[in-house]
Amino acid sequence: MKNVRFIKALISSAVAVTLTVSLAACGGAQQKGGSGAIKIGGSGPLTGPAAVYGNAVKAAAELAVEEVNAKGGLQFELDFEDDTHDAEKAVTAYGVLKDWGMQVSLATVTSAPGAAVSPMYKDDHIFAITPSGSSLAIIYQDPDNAANPYGNVFQMCFTDPNQGIASADYLKAHSDLGSKIAVIYKNDDNYSSGIFAKFSNQAAANGLDVVYTGTFDDSNASDFTVQLKQAQDAGADLIFLPIYYDPASLILTQANQMGYAPTFFGVDGMDGILTLEGFDTSLAEGVYLLTPFSADATDDLTKNFTANYKAKMNGEVPNQFAADAYDCVYAIAQACEAAGVTADMSASDICDKMTSQFSSMTFNGLTGQNVTWSANGEVSKSPKAVVIQNGVYVGVEN
């Protein structure tokens, strides 16, 4: 009797194992598609707290792929998977994409997951360009010394150190903006603390007077009254905000409630603040930011993109994540055409062609003109300083 119960348990576990295994095998068997289109994969947070960034990238990449396909000629097929802004899920998403037969990749949207999958792109020799993963760890195996690049992983956005240094240099050159500087950054965030680390070094080198440094994290991302009050008490007349626009909107609101009006200075994460649904844009008046993209720009490329994106996303205005993703797809298209990449090539062959093409070509897109890449994968485009006046970005000379 007892043995039977054991046998039953054994049978049921055997069934469970077989089921798992058959599922596993099933996934492996679906590898080849052969639709004549080049398969572009990518992952980003589509659910969870960071979902807003992943969904922007996904929508813009889909838009770009539709446009490229509509032209005839080069055809793309896009699979964008959810990684919930987690390294582990990014690696499984990579597995899904590889099983699907991905030939070119948009890597990941966010930094930490990106750093986890970069070595896999190197191992499997698949070309990847991340729209918005800005950490050095995405393109370098030794990010502390910016050495030993993966070589086939490229970036479309600025790197974090690049932005921190550019900001410190800009503030040195424009000391009329403010002489006593306060910084508020998000200390559990890769992007924000990455920019801050380089900014604070460069600020010291430039002799900037940083009077206050405050932080917040995921569990304290709503109340900024203490940080703002201490910045005010320290006499800060400029607050540097290397953070994304959603917490920045809270900081602007709370500073306004306190009657504290320093100059705010942001980086590319600040882009999007004017288009937050319901945000009183008058609060952002006079905010400076270094950004490669503005949805209000009047060139045809930006106007078309913004209109199409809005139509696709129920009226949501694209942010820099979307713009970078859109540029990524077009840059891939340009490189594919130039290198004569076709859908029947292996991912590895495509990788070689793309890598040499990207490090030699010049690209014009939403986020910059004459964009080039170094052989390490780092992008070279100049951050543009803009100031918000009457609810729109106005360029200021660098």
Partner 1 sequence: MDFLSYLINGLGLGSVYAIIALGYTMVYGIAKMLNFAHGDVIMVGAYVAFFSISNLGLPLIPAVLLSIVVCTVLGVVIERLAYKPLRAASALSVLITAIGVSYFLQNAAQLLWSSSTKVFPSVISNGGISWNGLTVSWLTLITIGVCVLVMICLTLFINHTKTGRAMRACSEDKGASTLMGINVNLMISITFAIGSGLAAIASVLLCAAYPSVFPTLGAMPGIKAFTAAVFGGIGSIPGAFLGGLLLGVIEIFAKAYISTQLSDAIVFAVLILVLLIKPTGLLGKRIREKV
Partner 2 sequence: MKTKMKMPALLSGKYRGRTVSYSIVLVSWLILEVMMHTGNLSSLFTSLLVPVCCYVVAAIGLNLNVGISGELNLGQACFMSVGAFTAVCLSGSLGPAVPSLARLILSIVAGALVATVFGILIGIPVLKLEGDYLAIVTLAFGQIVKSLITNMYFGIDSNGFHFSFVDNNVSLAAGGKMLLNGPMGATGTDRISTFTAGIILIILSLIVVYHLIYSRSGRAIMAARDNRIAAESVGIAIFKTKMLAFGVSSCLAGAAGALYGLNYSTLVPAKFDFNTSILLLVYVVLGGLGNMTGTIIATIVLVLLPELLRSMQDYRMLIYAIVLILIMLLTNNETIRVWGQKLKNRFMTKGGAAHGRES
Give least dist CB 383 to partner 1, A: 24
139: tokens are 């393109």
Of 148, 39, 41, nearest to 93 by C-alpha is: 41
Task: Please tell me the count of residues contacting partner 2 according to CB under 8 A.
Answer: 58
Q: Which does residue 310 bind out of partner 1, partner 2, none, counting CB within 5 to 8 angstroms by kind?
A: none
Residue pair 132/325 in contact (Cβ under 8 Å)? The answer is: yes
Please tell me whether residue 163 binds partner 2 under the rule CB under 8 A. no
Nearer to partner 2, 194 or 365 (CB): 194
Q: What angle do helix axes 87-100 and 111-124 make, rounded to 10 degrees? A: 40
Q: Which does residue 222 bind out of partner 2, partner 1, none, counting CB within 5 to 8 angstroms by kind?
A: partner 1
Q: Where are the alpha helices (DSSP H) in 111-155?
A: 111-124
Please tell me whether residue 390 binds partner 2 under the rule CB under 8 A. no
Q: What residue type is assigned to position 9 of the chain?
A: A
Give least dist CB 372 to partner 2, A: 26
Give least dist CB 197 to partner 2, A: 7
One residue of 64, 104, 137, 385 binding partner 2 per CB under 8 A = 137
* Binding map of partner 2 across residues 1-40, x = CB under 8 A, - = no contact: xxxxxxxxxx--xx-xx--xx-xxxxxx------------
Please tell me whether residue 47 binds partner 2 under the rule CB under 8 A. yes
CA-CA distance, 107 to 121, in Å (whole number)? 8
Nearer to partner 2, 86 or 378 (CB): 86
Q: Where are the alpha helices (DSSP H) in 125-244?
A: 160-173, 190-206, 225-233
Give least dist CB 160 to partner 2, A: 10
Q: Which does residue 176 bind out of partner 1, partner 2, none, counting CB within 5 to 8 angstroms by kind?
A: none
Nearer to partner 2, 154 or 330 (CB): 154
Please tell me whether residue 253 binds partner 2 under the rule CB under 8 A. no
In the complex, the residues that contact partner 1 under the rule CB under 8 A are: 47-49, 51-52, 55-56, 187, 214-223, 225-227, 229-230, 233, 246-247, 249-250, 253-254, 256-259, 276-280, 313-314, 316
Nearer to partner 1, 145 or 222 (CB): 222
Give least dist CB 260 to partner 2, A: 25
367: tokens are 């986020």
One residue of 60, 116, 252, 290 binding partner 2 per CB under 8 A = 116
Of 219, 221, 213, nearest to 246 by C-alpha is: 221
Neighbouring CB atoms inside 10 A of 230's CB total 16
Considering only 81-89, 291-299, 341-349, 354-362, which stretch makes contact with partner 2 by CB under 8 A? Answer: 81-89
One residue of 40, 46, 64, 181 binding partner 2 per CB under 8 A = 46
Of 78, 54, 35, 47, nearest to 329 by C-alpha is: 78
Give least dist CB 51 to partner 1, A: 3
3-state secondary structure string, 373-389?
A: ECCCCCEECCCEEEEEE
Pairing state between β 76-82 and 38-44: parallel
- CA 2 to chain CA mean position, Å: 58
* Binding map of partner 2 across residues 267-296, x = CB under 8 A, - = no contact: ------------------------------
CA-CA distance, 265 to 256, in Å (whole number)? 15
Give least dist CB 16 to partner 2, A: 6
Residue pair 97/43 in contact (Cβ under 8 Å)? The answer is: yes
Give least dist CB 362 to partner 2, A: 31
Contacts by 73-76 with C-beta closer than 8 Å and gap 24+?
73/337, 74/38, 74/333, 74/336, 74/337, 75/36, 75/37, 75/38, 75/343, 76/37, 76/38, 76/39, 76/40, 76/329, 76/332, 76/333
List residues binding partner 2 (CB under 8 A). Answer: 1-10, 13-14, 16-17, 20-21, 23-28, 46-47, 81-82, 86-88, 91-92, 94-96, 98-99, 112, 115-116, 118-119, 135, 137, 141-145, 187-190, 193-194, 197, 217-219
